[in-house]
Amino acid sequence: MRGHESSVFSISVHASGRYAITTSSDTAQLWDLDTFQRKRKLNIRQSVGIQKVFFLPLSNTILSCFKDNSVFAWECDTLFCKYQLPAPPESSSILYKVFAVTRDGRILAAGGKSNHLHLWCLEAKQLFSIIQMPTKVRAIRHLEFLPDGFDAGSNQVLGVLSQDGIMRFINIQTCKLLFEIGSLDEGISSSVISPHGRYIASIMENGSLNIYSVQALTQEINKPPPPLVKVIEDLPKSKLNSSDLKMKVTSGRVQRPTKSRESKIQTRILKQDLTGNFENKENELSDGLNKKRLQILLKGYGEYPMKYRMFIWRSLLQLPENHTAFSSLVDKGVHVAFLNLQKKYPIKSRRLLRVLQRTLSALAHWSAIFSDTPYLPLLAFPFVKLFQNNQLICFEVIATLIINWCQHWFEYFPNPPINILSMIENVLAFHDKELLQHFMDRDITSQLYAWPLLETLFSEVLTREEWLKLFDNVFSNHPSFLLMAVVAYNICSRAPLLNCNLKDDFEYFFHHRNNLDITVVIREVYHLVDTTPTDIHPESILDVFVALTKGQYPVFNQYPKFIVDYQTQERERIRNDELDYLRERQTVEDMQAEVDQQRAEDEAWYQKQELLRKAEETRREILFREEEKMLEQRQRLAAVKRELKRKEIHLQDAARRRFLKQQQDQREMELRRLDDEIERKVYMRDQEIAATAKDLEMRNLELESQTRLFEKKLNRNHEAVAKEMREDTDAYRRKVDLEEHVFHKLLETDQAQSLKAQKIIEENLANAEQACIDADWRLQALHTQRCDALQRNERYQEVAKLLRNNRRKEMEVLNAAMEAEAKKWEEAEEKEFHLRSEKRASALSDASRRWFLEQELSDALEHAENPCCEVSLNRRKLDWDTTEQDLLEKVRNLRQRLTAQARSRCQPPHVLAT
């Protein structure tokens, strides 16, 4: 349902059936059932949820109960807050979960998760009683008052459904447990009581449905109250003595007057004497009401109180409330005459339409004439709308109205009641001849100025309140009052009617509401009733009020039966003919439909074939165009491929040229680098040679200086002995220093020569390797040129010879590769051998140097012991020169030998002749 975010758990309908309230945990909404539109919406805070919102019976008050135990009362029309119930005392405060209200709307019962019940008086707006249930009851799940036909709506018995599945019925006045239904083994899930309190329907926890009879469960319900009046009875004898009079007085609780179905409360009966006349019984009504007093009250106030109007009407009409008879009429279903009622009378409310259809069907089943009465829906509609919540009362009110106030209406059926209209015309002629003459001059008959008011019962020309006020007086008076009301309405409207000249104006006037005071009309009706002569008074022709019989409804046959039977037969015959015609037409339509369907299928087949042919031609054209497009695309693709191939060849050629140029540049860079390296090494060699020469010159200078010093010492030998010793010591010291210096220089020279020789050897090896690589590259280039030349020479030879040559060349290339691999392995072995030789030579050189140093040291020691130092110095100088020359010669020879070996290894391999 729109507007609710959570599920709806409660729906309450107003007593008039016009409004409804739907309640969910988050909101409550007021709906108009006539238009099915939402009128208002109750918004609350999320912290305070809604427990229940419902209408109070027989009032326009809405009661809203929230989860914080706050209870508010609102006016239905204005939604004005009327009052709020005070908070219950803290000692017995409970969270309200379930609620129940008596039928008179005076007492509110509330319960929750406790065994306490709170009873609120809504008139005094205070908590007047707290009922404690038995200890077995821990929580209350449902509350509902049990109706009683004699308590005038102030229900005293409350049904309490607890958590154990047992529903206990207690008297809220005496707090007495009357009876209980359900058990622990077969608990009750939910329960509802019929409107009249006779039956209780319960859904059990096992899914079964149980119906309980209240009369079988207890005798404390629906008991008639004790007499409230004094009854004075006469003695059986003819004499009337004061001492023999007996007075029977019965006391009882004073209650509101209500209707009794099973028994009637005794009324006052006063017998003055044996010949005295009783008071007119027709003034005495059931439920303790008096018609004369009601008429006095009506004349004083002009209408009955709204709250008690329905009750007074039911008492005035003395409705029997025959449930069984009415149920038998309703069970016959919808009458065939009213199956399509919504087409002729489109009513917006579906519920109201169903009630009207059901009531009219019941009337048609009661009497056959009502199925052919065209104005019956107009006549019944106001009562259906008024009593839509109680269809039994609605039916009996309409039936009573037809029997009493519609007397002689059907004697001229299917024509309007000419006799009734003649009565109205006679009364109008007596009281207002001018108006009647005006009608006659304008050719306006009673069927135009009287019958529309009668067949609609004034519902078209009066508002709801005016109509209720009028029928308060109609039901309280003789049946002729309704006819007088028609005359009074015309007389009170004489001014606008005299101004009307066209028939359409008169028709409009009597079918629409007019600016007329209904109180003036009613006053005029009473005046007409009192002043109309007896000979033309409708009261002399119409019978007095007769109520419906109890148990079964009376037979209604006040109509020309033969006409109705004839019409029924004719209608049945016409219906049968119509059914036959409809069947034949249906057969013809079916055959025509089959023919049309076959024709349509054939037409569709031909159209489909034509469409298929056109589609095939279209597909062929599309296919042809696609093939042409594909051919063009293939041609473009081939052209693109050729262009790509050409570009690829150009790119490959450019890449090859770029690669060759890069190789050439790289070779030139290698050559320049090698030239730079050779120049650097030559420069380094020259520098080393120059440094060696300078060292040798320095050494010669030192030797010459030593020689001069030695000569000076020899010249001084002839000096004194003392000086000689000193000179010898100084000479010895100088000799030692010189030897040490020479020894260190010798060591440095040897190390430098060794490092230089090693570097030269490594450089020569690298140069030889590079020369070998360059030779291989040149050899491969030459070989490639030769192969290209051979291929150009042999291009025009036979294919077989070319294949053999290619295979032979492949074999040759394979052999050459294998030979090159073998030579590389031999070269690697020779290099490994030379490396070992170099290591041995280096080791021998190191051993020779060690031996030389040791020898020099030993010679130096011997020289220190031998005074003849001149010879040793000269010999040592010669030995040094010889050793230096030998070492230089060895290094030169080693370089030459390594160069020759490198050149021999780098020679190109022989290529097999083809």
Of residues 498 and 220, more confidence is placed in 498
At 114, is the pLDDT very low, low, confident or very high (cuts 50, 70, 90)?
confident
**Contact in structure between 251 and 226 (CB atoms under 8 Å):** yes
Residue 224 pLDDT exceeds 70: no
CA 452/CA 430 separation, integer angstroms: 21
* Burial classification of residue 751, based on how many CB atoms lie within 10 Å of its CB (0-12 exposed, 13-18 middle, 19 or more buried): exposed
Going by pLDDT thresholds of 50, 70 and 90, the confidence category of residue 1 is low
269-306 tens-digit pLDDT: 333 333 334 344 445 565 557 778 888 888 888 888 88
Q: What integer pLDDT is reported at residue 259 of this predicted model?
A: 37
**Phi and psi, residue 27, nearest 5°:** -160, 165
**Cα-flanking dihedrals φ and ψ of residue 224, to 5°?**
-65, 140
pLDDT value, residue 693: 84
φ, ψ of residue 593 in degrees (nearest 5): -65, -40
Average pLDDT over residues 541-562: 80
Q: Is the pLDDT of residue 877 over 60?
A: no
pLDDT at 789: 67
Measured CA to CA, the distance from residue 105 to residue 153 in angstroms comes to 8
Mean pLDDT over 635-645 rounds to: 90
What gap in Å lies between CA 892 and CA 886, rounded to an integer?
Answer: 10
Among 295-299, 318-322, 617-621, 790-794, the minimum mean pLDDT is found in: 790-794
pLDDT at 254 over 70: no
Judged against a pLDDT cut of 60, whether residue 581 lies above it is answered with: yes
pLDDT of residue 241: 40
Terminal-to-terminal C-alpha distance of the chain: 106
- From the centroid of its chain, how far is CA 50? 24
Q: Which band of pLDDT confidence, cut at 50, 70 and 90, is reported for residue 560?
A: low
What 3-state DSSP class applies to 119?
Answer: strand
Average pLDDT rounded to a whole number, residues 338-359: 86
Residue 365's SS3 state is: helix
Q: Closest Cα partner for 84 from 102, 57, 108?
A: 108
Query: Average pLDDT of the chain?
Result: 79
Tokens of 794: 């042999």
Asked whether 436 and 499 are in contact (CB, 8 A), the reply is: no
Q: What is the pLDDT of residue 844?
A: 81
Three-class secondary structure assignment of 691-755:
HHHHHHHHHHHHHHHHHHHHHHHHHHHHCCHHHHHHHHHHHHHHHHHHHHHHHHHHHHHHHHHHH
Task: Count other C-beta atoms under 10 Å from residue 403's C-beta.
Answer: 19
Confidence bin at 80 (pLDDT 50/70/90): confident
- d(CA 145, CA 535) in angstroms, rounded, equals 56
Burial of 193 (0-12, 13-18, 19+ CB in 10 A): buried
> pLDDT band at residue 568, thresholds of 50, 70 and 90?
low
DSSP 913: P
In this structure, of 475-484, 615-624, 671-680, 858-867, the range with the lowest mean pLDDT score is 858-867
Sign of CA dihedral 889, 894, 895, 897: positive
Residue 733 has pLDDT above 80, yes or no: no
pLDDT of 492: 92
CA distance 344 to 341: 6
CA distance 524 to 487: 9
Residue of 60, 59, 24 lying closest to 43 (CA atoms):
24
Distance CA 833, CA 823 (A): 15
Instruction: Write down the pLDDT at residue 489.
Output: 92
Give me the mean pLDDT over the 642-660 stretch: 89
Q: By CB neighbour count within 10 A (0-12 exposed, 13-18 middle, 19+ buried), where does 388 fall?
A: buried
| pLDDT at res. 736 | 75
Q: What is the mean pLDDT of residues 719-735?
A: 71
Q: What is the pLDDT of residues 26-52, one digit of tens each?
A: 788 888 887 778 878 777 766 677 888
Residue 77: C-alpha distances to residues 32, 62, 70, 74 (Å):
11, 10, 22, 9
Q: How many CA atoms lie within 13 A of 841 on its CB side?
A: 14
Per-residue confidence band for 201, with pLDDT thresholds at 50, 70 and 90: very high
Peptide bond into 414 cis (omega under 30): yes
| Sheet of strand 107-112: strand arrangement | 96-101, 107-112, 116-121, 126-132
pLDDT category at 708 given cuts 50, 70, 90 is confident
pLDDT at 164: 87
- Do the Cβ atoms of 295 and 304 come closer than 8 Å? no
Whether the pLDDT of residue 260 is over 50: the answer is: no
Q: 425-446 as b/e, with b when 16 or more CB fall inside 10 Å?
A: bbbbebbbeebbebbeebebeb
Which comes out higher in pLDDT, residue 293 or 245?
Answer: 293
CA angle 707, 708, 711 (to 5 degrees): 85
- Alpha-carbon distance values, 172 to 155, 175, 220, 751 (Å): 9, 5, 13, 135
Most confident of 266-275, 561-570, 753-762: 753-762
Three-state SS letters, 229-280: CCEEECCCCCCCCHHHCEEECCCCCCCCCCCCCCCCCCCCCCCCCCCCCCCC
Interatomic CA distance for residues 580 and 836, integer angstroms: 134
Q: Is the pLDDT of residue 137 over 70?
A: yes
* Most confident listed range (24-33, 134-143, 735-744): 134-143
Average pLDDT over residues 855-878: 59
**pLDDT tens digits for range 422-441:** 999 999 999 989 998 998 98
Mean of pLDDT values over 690-707: 84
Alpha-carbon span 148 to 154, nearest angstrom: 8
Whole-number pLDDT of residue 46: 63
> Using CB atoms within 10 A of its CB, is residue 108 exposed (0-12), middle (13-18) or buried (19+)?
buried
Q: Using the predicted structure, report yes or no on whether residue 710 has a pLDDT greater than 90.
A: no
Burial of 577 (0-12, 13-18, 19+ CB in 10 A): exposed
Three-state secondary structure call for residue 571: helix
Instruction: Choose between 769 and 453: higher pLDDT.
Output: 453
Name residue, tokens 């609609």.
456
Quote the pTM value.
0.39
Task: Give the residue with greater pLDDT, 760 vs 653.
Answer: 653
When pLDDT is cut at 50, 70 and 90, the band that residue 671 belongs to is confident
If one compares 385 and 876, the residue with the highest pLDDT of the two is: 385
Q: How many Å is the maximal CA-CA distance in the chain?
A: 221
Average pLDDT over residues 703-713: 81
Q: What's the whole-number mean pLDDT along residues 447-456?
A: 90
pLDDT band (50, 70, 90) for residue 470: very high
Q: Are 483 and 420 in contact (CB under 8 A)?
A: yes
Query: Where is mean pLDDT largest: 158-162, 580-584, 898-902?
Result: 158-162
- What percent of the chain lies above the pLDDT cut of 90? 10
For the segment 539-551, the average pLDDT, to the nearest whole number, is 87
Mean pLDDT of 554-566: 66
pLDDT interval class at 240 (50, 70, 90) = very low
- Of 99-103, 762-766, 894-898, 900-904, which has the strongest mean pLDDT? 99-103
Per-residue pLDDT at 398: 92
pLDDT the model gives residue 415? 80
How much of the chain exceeds pLDDT 70, in percent? 83
Give me the pLDDT at residue 485, please. 93
| Local confidence band at 239 (pLDDT 50, 70, 90 cut-offs) | very low
